A and B are shown apart, each in its own frame.
Chain A
Amino acid sequence: MHIMAAIQRGVWALLLWPSLLTVSMPLDCKEEQGSLSGCTSISQEKLLDRVIHHAELIYRVSEESCSLFEEMFLPFPLRLQSSQAGYACITKALPMPSSKSEIQQISDKWLLHSVLMLVQSWIEPLVYLQTTMDRYDHAPDMLLNKTKWVSDKLISLEQGVVVLIKKMLDEGTLATTDSEQSLFQYDVQPEMLESVMRDYTLLSCFKKDAHKMETFLKLLKCRQTDNCP
């Protein structure tokens, strides 16, 4: 178990580190505006605001999805034991600060990269979540729509963060995660209850990570504007 975790962590580090350097995705005006010619560049503050807005929305929708899922599928006795169910968040391996003091010691660069890491690590699981949701007999459409929406928004958030990194940190473009190996392992045909529990854990973990993203970005913003009023 511990060996596996260590290996996972190693893989994470290896994968994530190069991603910072590789240039796999042209992030220019074309990407952002969707137009081919003569796009105007966006200012850093505006981009940051937009990214923050994205993150806020994602968090809100994920929060709604989680509560919906909890009402629909999770029997009451299990709700309190979700954290004890043994399904850890997939991103728990990522080194994240857990207190304000720790976070305040993190540099801007690290904040941005952390955000990127989080975003990129969640793209894949959300897609998986959609497939599993369809398997449920009476999953409400609202839930499905929300998860779909979140997964789409996450992709655009990733793009924005990449551009932001490029602008703020003057670093080269970073590679997307599509070519990377997925860290997410899942069973092909899990049992219903396990599936439910896993999905629930997935949603709640994602909710938390979305909050993290939002917090990091807001902190970053206030740092940029030299202390928010």
Chain B
Amino acid sequence: MKEAGEAILLLSLLFFMPHAEGTRYSLPGKPALTRCRSPEKETFTCWWEPGSDGGLPTTYALYYRKENSEAVYECPDYHTAGQNSCFFNKNDTSIWVNYNITVVATNALGSTFSDPVDIDVVYIVKPNPPEKVAVTVMEDKGWPFLRVSWEPPHKADTRSGWITLIYELRVKLEGENEWEMHLAGQQKMFNVFSLRSGGRYLIQVRCKPDHGFWSEWSSTSYIKVPDYFHREKSVWVLVTVFSAFIFLIFTWCIHINGHSLKDCILPPVPGPKIRGFDKQLLKNGKSEDIFSALVVSDFPPTNSSNYEDLLVEYLEVYIPEEQELIMEESKDLHDGCLKPKGSTYDSDSGRGSCDSHTLLMDKCGEAKEDERQTDQEGSQTGSEAQRQQAAWEQEALTYAHEDMISPDMSSGRVKTWPSVFSPLPQYSLSPLNQPSSLETAKQHCLSDSLFPPGSLSSYLTQPGQTTKEALGSSYWDFCSSNKQPHVLHPQLEARQHLQARSDVNISSIGHKEAPVGLQLPTVRSTEYVEVHRVNEEDMVLLHPVPSGHGHGKGCQGEDYSKVKGVDKNNVLLLQRNSMEEQVDACPCENRDTRGATEHCCSAQKSIPCIHIALPAQDEKAGNGYVDTATMFTLPTH
């Protein structure tokens, strides 16, 4: 039958051939059997690849022959398995039997046989993918896992044991590239552990007969793992508790060691040092001096000294190192106006940045005119020195300004002088530019220093405080300038410190004994000065009060003033020292040397007046007393 059909086909092709136009026809190309597969070891299918058709319609036929049999059969079913295929149903399939299969391509010109292929059905089994893949999330002690279950392909007869399948599944997270393979053996269920919380997983399963080919992967199953944060929450709770505990311990430690830590981080502003303790003396190695310096004449306060004296507020004056260098360069200049280099000061006295050293120098120069004026006036009232002195006691400070407040005379108490020293920094630059004026100013300042430092009972106010820095010298020289609120040069006796509450550095110009070691050409006797008035330009006009003292060699303790304070109008309030008797008793000059502050006349008669020669002229910077005498001598130069 089929051969007849083929013959008819051939004839028809030959009939139509002459009508073709020059196209070259040929035998069909050689087909090739690509593969044969059996899904369940009961049927099988063979596919072939056709060759070139040679330009003519080509038909294909598959012929097979079983082993040990000569009979050739043609493919029973060309259609079930699709194009170019041959399907062998159950009746045509024999297992453990070799099939010899050949495909023939036929066209009008002829036929072409393919190469024969021997197959045995049992060796070409490739099952269908597993079916009904089900994935569920299950929990094992709080930890989730996936349970994957599936069914074998429905065609494969595993129930009777005809086919034994082994399975394999693969899992991957959505978005990743690599699959995680698991071999499941013959079981139809598998558990996947170690899941990521909240992840979405893809699962596929495939199977293979015990001897055969792997099937294709089943369709992907998706599953989303729920978040299992609750399991991790316990960890977070533990971490939080632990960290809180650590924090509490830490806080407690901080609290315990708060002070030392605070000291570490924020070093405290050092307070006043031991009064009367002179570091320089210590360095010099004279223990006698040290101890004597430590001894304060008025301690314990057995005298009738007012207790208010004990409550003096000291204003510490400090000269920074650089200033001292400058002072060394121009020795003459510095003597009067400047305090000896920091020897009299403690390094940690907490002084402010105000550099009264240069300020004073500058002020000295600028205040010459003022000084002259006052000097003249002072000469007139020089005779009234005594009266003035007495008056000072009551007046404390003389005020030219009606706004002045009478300070407490009892002690050279000076309140803070913030306004006084505010302009100080501005003078830092000027002094170098006016060396000449400074010289004169210095001299003037120095001359004033001849005044009785002996009457340095101002120290007494704070017994024991005989430190060098203490402006102990109690002399101050403020060279006021007309540009700024003037600073008086009160003649503080002894060491009267005005210890500014605010951190103001005042370089005290104090210095003590003018004559000794001083190279001031014109050293006048120290003069008392009283504030005449304050003019409209905020200039404090000093009224010189002739002290009657000669060269300031001896201790002079009567006429001096101590700065009481500064009122709100930037007026320097001077106060006469009330400790006269003590001053007189010990006519010593209070001089500030490099490192030794003598408190003679500090209510201790036993204290000898030691005129410590100033080793360097430049050291003679004032002892911290306001020496207006120097200023008065300015015009003479």
A residues with a Cβ closer than 8 A to B are 56, 59, 63, 80, 82-84, 88, 92, 96, 98-101, 104, 208, 211-212, 214-215, 218-223, 227-229
Contacting residues, chain B, for A228 (C-beta < 8 A): 158-161, 164
Task: From known contacts A211-B122, A222-B161, A228-B160, infer whether A101 and B90 are also in contact, taking CB-CB under 8 Å.
Answer: yes
Taken together as a complex, chains A and B put the C-alpha atoms of A101 and B211 apart, in Å, by: 20
Is B193 an interface residue when CB atoms closer than 8 A count as contact? no
Q: B95 — which chain A residues lie within 8 A by C-beta?
A: 98-100
Q: Besides the contacts A100-B41, A215-B122, A228-B160, what 5 more A-B pairs have beta carbons closer than 8 Å?
A: A99-B94, A208-B122, A214-B210, A215-B162, A227-B159
Contact B68 A219 (CB under 8 A): no
Given A56-B210, A80-B117, A92-B68: A99 touches B161 (CB 8 Å cut-off): no
Question: Do A221 and B161 touch (CB < 8 A)?
Answer: yes
CB distance from A59 to the nearest CB of B (A): 7
Q: Are B41 and A98 in contact (CB under 8 A)?
A: no
Residues of chain A within 8 A (CB-CB) of B117 are 80
Stretch from B96-104, B292-300, B554-562 that touches the partner:
B96-104
Shortest C-beta distance, B607 to chain A (Å), equals 119
A208 touches B161 (CB 8 A): no
Q: Known: A83-B98, A92-B68, A98-B97. Contact between A219 and B160, CB under 8 A? A: yes
Considering the chains assembled together, what is the distance between the CA atoms of A215 and B161 in angstroms?
A: 8
Task: Point out the residues of chain A lying under 8 angstroms from B157, CB to CB.
Answer: 100
Does B118 count as interface, using CB distance less than 8 angstroms?
A: yes
Closest 4 CB pairs of A and B: A222-B161, A98-B94, A218-B161, A83-B98
List chain B residues, Cβ under 8 A from A98: 94-97
Complex CA distance for A104 and B159, rounded to whole angstroms? 12
Contact of B42 among A100, A211, A219 (CB under 8 A): A100
Q: Which residues of A contact B67 (CB under 8 A)?
A: 83
Per-position 1/0 for B305-340, Cβ under 8 A of A: 000000000000000000000000000000000000
Docked Cα-Cα span, A98 to B67, in Å, equals: 12
CA distance A63 to B212 in the complex (A): 12
B162 touches A219 (CB 8 A): yes
A87 to nearest B CB, angstroms? 11
6 contacts between A and B (CB under 8 A): A80-B118, A82-B118, A96-B96, A218-B164, A227-B160, A228-B160
A63, B123: Cα distance in complex, Å: 11
Chain B's interface size range is: 20 to 34
B425 near A: Cβ within 8 Å? Answer: no
Question: Is the CB of B355 closer than 8 A to any CB of chain A?
Answer: no
- Given A100-B42, A222-B160, is A84 in contact with B122 using a C-beta cutoff of 8 Å? no
**A96 to B122 CA separation, bound complex (whole angstroms):** 15
* A-side contacts of B158, CB under 8 Å: 228
CB distance from A111 to the nearest CB of B (A): 11
Residues of B within 8 A of A208 (CB): 96, 120, 122
Q: Which of B93, B115, B211 contacts A59 (CB 8 A)?
A: B211
CB neighbours (8 Å) of A212 from chain B are 96
On chain A, the residues within 8 Å of B210 by CB distance are: 56, 214
Neighbouring B residues of A56 by C-beta, 8 Å: 210
- Judge whether B96 and A211 touch: CB under 8 Å: yes
Question: Which B residues lie within 8 Å of A59 (CB)?
Answer: 211
CA distance A228 to B550 in the complex (A): 136
What CA separation (Å) do A84 and B117 show in the bound complex? 11
Cβ B90 vs Cβ A88 within 8 A: no
A residues near B301, Cβ cutoff 8 Å: none
List residues of chain B with CB within 8 A of the CB of A222. 159-161
Which residues on the A side are within 8 Å of B160 (C-beta)? 104, 219, 222-223, 227-228
Q: B188 an interface residue at 8 Å Cβ cutoff?
A: yes
Closest residue on chain B to residue A216 by CB atoms: B161
Q: Could you tell me the distance in whole angstroms from the C-beta of A22 to the nearest C-beta in chain B?
A: 29
A84 near B96 with CB under 8 A, answer no
Q: Which residues of B contact A63 (CB under 8 A)?
A: 211
**A101 contacts across to B, CB distance below 8 A:** 90
For window 132-190 of chain B, which residues contact chain A by CB distance below 8 Å? 157-162, 164, 188
Docked CA distance A4–B438 (Å): 150
Contact present for B93 and A99 (CB under 8 Å): yes
Q: Residue among A83, A88, A219 with the most chain B CB within 10 A?
A: A83
User: What's the Cα separation between A227 and B162 when bound, in Å?
Assistant: 11
Question: How far is the CB of B476 from the nearest CB of chain A, in Å?
Answer: 113
A178 to B212, CA, bound (A): 35
Q: Point out the residues of chain A lying under 8 angstroms from B418, CB to CB.
A: none
Give the distance to chain A from B412, nearest Cβ to Cβ, in Å: 114
CB neighbours of B98 from chain A (8 A)? 83
Whether, in the assembled complex, B116 has its beta carbon less than 8 Å from a beta carbon of chain A, the answer is yes
**Shortest distance between the CB of A101 and any CB in chain B (Å):** 7
Q: How many angstroms from the CA of A98 to the CA of B120 in the assembled complex?
A: 11
How far, in whole Å, are A202 and B284 apart by their CA atoms in the complex?
A: 122
Contacts of A211 in B (CB 8 A): 96, 122, 211
Question: Distance in Å from the Cβ of A14 to the closest Cβ of chain B?
Answer: 23
The distance in angstroms between the C-alpha atoms of A92 and B68, with both chains bound, is: 9
Q: Which residues 25-53 of B sit at the A interface, judged by CB distance below 8 A? A: 41-42
Q: Give the CA-CA distance A214 to B210 in the complex, in Å.
A: 10
B68 to chain A, nearest CB (A): 6
- Residue of A with least CB distance to B41: A100
CA distance in complex: A92, B66 (Å):
13
Q: How far apart sit A215 and B122, CA to CA, in the bound complex (Å)?
A: 10
> Who on chain B is nearest to A225 by CB?
B161
How far apart are B116's CB and chain A's nearest CB, in angstroms?
7
B96 A83 Cβ-Cβ under 8 A: no
A114 to chain B, nearest CB (A): 12
Cα-based distance from A184 to B31 in the complex (angstroms) = 41
**A80–B161 touching, CB < 8 Å:** no
